[in-house]
C-alpha cells in the first residue's frame, strides 16, 4: 500500500489530489515451476508487510491460513512512514535482521533505480540478493494459494478452488472497485461531487454484499475463499478509520447486523483476527495522512470488545476450512501486542 501517492510527494500530498491506485510496477510471479525466473523455495524469500495496510493484511491472513510461516519469513514495518516510506524501526538498530536494510525502498532500488511509482507493501524480497521480486498485491495471495501448495501445511484450506474461480473473480472485482478502493476514493476526494459518488459506491456495494450474506455464511461457496479475505481486510478497518477519517459515515459496520456478524465470524476464525493490529491501523492512517488530518491526533475509539462477542453465523452452515483444519497457534514472534488487540 502506498495509498496512491508518488514516491516524492510525501505524506502531505494525501487528500490534495484525486485518488488513483498505483499499478504494481513489479509484477514478477513466484511459481512452482519457476517459469518467470523465481521458483517457489522455502527460505528464499521474505514477505514485507505493514499490519496497518489492508492489501498487506491479505498476505498475512493467507500466509497463516496456508501454514507458510516456515517457508516464507516475515518482516513487519513501522506503521508510521516518513517521506522515504516504509521503515524497519520496529527492529533492533532500525534494520531488518534478515535483509539488513533500514528502508524498504532499498530493496526496490536494488531491483531498479529510478523506477516509477511508490514504495508499497506487501512486497516479496529475494533474501540472497536483497532485491524486490514483486509488489503485485493482487497476485501475491493468489500465488500463495495455488503455486506454493507443495509447502502448505497439512490441512491447509483451498482458498481459490478451481471450480469456483469465475464466481470468486467476479465478487472480488466488485469488492475491489467499490469497497477496497472505494473508501480511499471517498477519503481522498477533492470535491463534494467526487466524494459523494465514491461514498454512494461504497455503501451501495456493502448493502448488496449484506443481502448476499444474509443467506450464506461466506461470499462464495460454503468455505472461506480469497474473496472473504479481501472483504475482511476492509471491514475490519471500517469503524476504526474509514468511517471517520475517510468520511464513510452513512452507517458504521456495527450498525449493519449482517456485515457486523460476518466480520466477527471471520475475526474469530484462526488466521484472521490474530493478524490484526488495531494500534498499527489507527496510527498509520491518522498520523501518516497529514493532508486530511494535519494535527496527527489519533482517536481513542472505537471500543473493540464487540469483536469477540457471539456472531451465530455458524447457524447458516458452512465449513470454514473445507476438508482442512484451522492453523495452529500464532508464533510468539508474530503475536500482535496487547495494545493492538481487543
First to last CA, the chain: 24
For every residue of 282-326, DSSP letters joined together read: HHHHHHH-TTT-TT-PPP-----GGGGS---GGGG---TTTTS--
Do residues 245 and 293 make contact, with C-beta atoms less than 8 angstroms apart?
Answer: yes
Distance CA 246, CA 238 (A): 9
> Cβ distance 263 to 235 under 8 Å?
yes
Phi, psi of 96 (to 5 degrees): -65, 130
Any catalytic annotation for residue 184?
A: yes
Any catalytic annotation for residue 45?
A: no
| Cβ-contact 160, 142 below 8 angstroms | yes
* Catalytic residue of the set 184, 262, 285, 286: 184
Give the C-alpha separation, 129 to 132, whole Å.
9
Q: Which residues contact 186 (CB under 8 A, 6 or more apart)?
A: 195, 198, 199, 202, 242, 246, 247, 248
d(CA 236, CA 267): 8
3-state secondary structure 47-64: EEECCCCHHHHHHHHHHH
Which of 53, 160, 218, 285 is the catalytic position?
A: 53
Other CB atoms within a 10 A radius of the CB of residue 149 amount to 13
d(CA 11, CA 81): 8
DSSP 160-228: S-GGGHHHHHHHHHHHIIIIITHHHHHHT-SSHHHHHHHHHHHHHHHHHHHHHHTS-SSSSTTS--HHH
Q: Which residues are catalytic?
A: 53, 184
Amino acid at each position: 500500500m502506498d495509498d496512491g501517492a508518488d514516491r516524492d510527494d510525501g505524506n502531505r500530498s494525501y487528500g490534495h489530489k484525486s485518488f488513483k491506485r498505483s499499478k504494481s510496477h513489479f509484477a514478477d510471479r513466484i511459481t512452482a515451476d519457476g517459469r518467470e525466473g523465481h521458483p517457489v523455495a522455502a527460505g528464499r524469500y521474505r514477505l514485507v508487510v505493514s499490519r496497518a495496510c489492508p492489501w498487506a493484511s491479505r498476505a498475512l491472513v493467507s500466509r497463516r491460513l496456508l501454514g507458510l510461516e516456515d517457508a516464507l519469513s516475515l518482516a513487519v514495518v513501522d506503521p508510521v512512514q516518513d517521506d522515504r516510506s516504509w521503515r524497519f524501526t520496529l527492529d533492533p538498530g532500525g534494520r531488518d535482521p534478515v535483509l539488513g536494510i533500514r528502508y524498504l525502498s532499498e530493496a526496490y532500488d536494488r531491483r531498479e533505480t529510478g523506477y516509477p511509482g511508490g514504495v508499497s507493501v506487501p512486497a516479496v524480497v529475494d533474501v540472497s540478493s536483497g532485491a524486490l521480486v514483486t509488489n503485485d498485491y493482487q497476485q501475491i495471495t493468489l500465488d500463495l494459494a495455488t503455486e506454493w501448495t507443495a509447502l502448505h501445511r497439512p490441512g491447509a484450506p483451498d482458498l481459490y478452488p478451481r471450480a469456483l474461480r469465475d464466481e470468486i473473480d467476479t465478487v472480488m472485482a466488485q469488492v475491489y472497485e467499490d469497497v477496497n478502493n472505494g473508501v480511499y476514493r471517498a477519503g481522498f476526494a477533492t470535491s463534494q461531487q467526487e466524494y459523494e459518488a465514491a461514498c454512494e459506491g461504497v455503501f451501495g456495494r456493502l448493502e448488496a454484499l449484506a443481502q448476499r450474506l444474509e443467506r450464506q455464511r461466506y461470499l462464495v461457496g460454503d468455505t472461506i475463499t480469497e474473496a472473504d479475505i479481501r472483504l475482511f481486510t476492509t471491514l475490519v478497518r471500517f469503524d476504526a478509520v474509514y468511517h471517520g477519517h475517510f468520511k464513510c459515515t452513512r452507517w458504521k459496520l456495527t450498525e449493519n447486523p449482517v456485515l457486523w456478524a460476518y466480520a466477527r465470524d471471520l475475526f474469530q476464525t484462526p488466521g484472521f483476527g490474530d493478524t490484526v493490529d488495531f494500534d498499527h491501523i489507527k496510527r498509520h492512517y491518522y498520523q501518516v495522512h497529514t493532508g486530511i488530518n494535519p494535527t496527527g491526533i489519533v482517536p481513542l475509539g472505537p471500543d473493540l470488545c464487540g469483536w469477540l462477542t457471539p456472531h451465530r453465523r455458524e447457524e447458516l452452515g458452512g465449513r470454514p476450512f473445507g476438508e482442512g483444519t484451522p492453523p495452529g497457534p500464532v508464533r510468539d514472534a508474530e503475536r500482535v501486542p496487547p495494545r493492538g488487540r481487543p
